[in-house]
């Protein structure tokens, strides 16, 4: 199945399109087979959300943009699913906010790391970190502990979309401001985050970028006010309520 073969009028168009991108990512060697399972799990939560960005998620994206624009060294962490789903979008976010891009994988292999870095460059990235892996995140015994000393290890704000809960907790223990994109408001990642965005990554990343474009050039007080006004627990509660009560009204829902 190709993107062209799925008509936009199809009620499952968005879901089929993202599935295709993950499948293509596996074929290109940038996404692991486990990523297919993760995509299916997230898709189930997105269906319950109505496959739309709820107001609390948009408020979280705005707070995330404020954090990124206020940061000294923001970094966007990229795994295989992120590279497959939103490569151009994360490159654009990095450009708008002055963030670094860093590849970080649980199933780490040099060939796959290089493939993802090349894929991001093909979509406009000028620099991609993560290949050097000359630092470690304390408290982790697996490959996600490997980071660049001048990347995630040095960052004050990190966007961790589609993140593992244990690394999210470990980054939090390093006193980093974490922005997490996760469709499950009950996950460890979302509940660890400074800013949990309960939304599909294909909507959340462009949403952060749009807010960053709007806010760019604002005074520091504006950023600090947006951050102070954001209530992370209220955002999680709103997302859970939307899922439990079926608040979603997407026309694509069958």
**CA separation (Å) from 36 to 22, 23, 80, 149?**
7, 7, 10, 30
pLDDT digits (tens, 9 = 90+) for 20-74: 677 676 778 787 666 566 665 667 788 888 889 999 999 999 999 999 999 999 9
Q: What is the rounded average pLDDT for all residues in the chain?
A: 87
Within a domain: residue 9?
Answer: no
What value does the CA radius of gyration of the chain take, rounded to a whole number of Å? 17
Give the CATH number, domain containing residue 225: 3.40.50.12640
Number of domains making up the chain: 1
| 159: containing domain | 55-245
Query: CA angle 122-31-183, nearest 5°?
Result: 105
SS3 109: coil
Within a domain: residue 230?
Answer: yes
Within a domain: residue 241?
Answer: yes
SS3 148: coil
Q: Does pLDDT of 180 surpass 60?
A: yes
Within a domain: residue 65?
Answer: yes
pLDDT digits (tens, 9 = 90+) for 72-83: 999 999 998 899
Within a domain: residue 13?
Answer: no
Within a domain: residue 16?
Answer: no
Across 49-110, the runs of DSSP E, i.e. the strands, are 74-78, 100-103
Percent of the chain with pLDDT over 90: 64
Within a domain: residue 165?
Answer: yes
Within a domain: residue 192?
Answer: yes
- pLDDT range class, residue 141, cuts 50, 70, 90: confident
Q: Which of 142, 141, 175, 146 shows the shortest CA–CA distance to 158?
A: 175
Single pTM value for the model: 0.88
Tell me the average pLDDT across 200-225.
Answer: 97
Select the more confidently predicted residue: 1 or 250. Answer: 250
pLDDT digits (tens, 9 = 90+) for 20-29: 677 676 778 7
Tell me the two tokens of residue 167: 């690394």
**CA separation (Å) from 1 to 7, 99, 207?**
11, 35, 28
């Amino acid at each position: 199945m190709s993107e062209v073969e799925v008509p936009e009028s199809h009620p499952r168009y968005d879901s089929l399109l993202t599935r295709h991108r993950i499948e293509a990512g596996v074929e290109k060697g940038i996404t692991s087979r486990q990523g297919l399972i993760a995509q299916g799990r997230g898709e189930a939560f997105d269906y319950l959300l109505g496959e739309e960005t709820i107001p609390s998620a948009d408020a979280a994206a705005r707070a995330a943009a404020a954090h990124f624009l206020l940061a000294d060294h923001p970094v966007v962490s990229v795994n295989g699913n992120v590279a497959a789903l939103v490569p151009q979008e994360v490159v654009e976010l990095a450009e708008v906010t002055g963030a670094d891009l860093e590849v970080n994988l649980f199933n780490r292999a040099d060939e796959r790391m290089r493939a993802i870095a090349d894929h991001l460059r093909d979509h406009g990235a000028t620099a991609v970190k993560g290949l050097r892996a000359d630092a470690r995140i304390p408290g982790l015994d697996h490959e996600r502990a490997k980071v660049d000393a001048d990347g995630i290890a040095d960052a004050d704000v990190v966007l961790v979309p589609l993140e593992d809960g244990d690394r999210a907790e470990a980054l939090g223990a390093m006193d980093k401001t974490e922005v997490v994109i996760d469709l499950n408001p009950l996950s460890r990642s979302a509940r660890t985050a400074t800013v949990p965005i309960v939304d599909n990554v294909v909507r959340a990343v462009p949403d952060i970028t749009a807010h960053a474009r709007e806010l760019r050039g604002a005074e520091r007080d504006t950023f600090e006010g947006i951050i102070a006004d954001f209530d992370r627990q209220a955002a999680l509660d709103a997302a859970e309520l939307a899922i439990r009560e079926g608040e979603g009204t997407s026309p694509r829902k069958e």
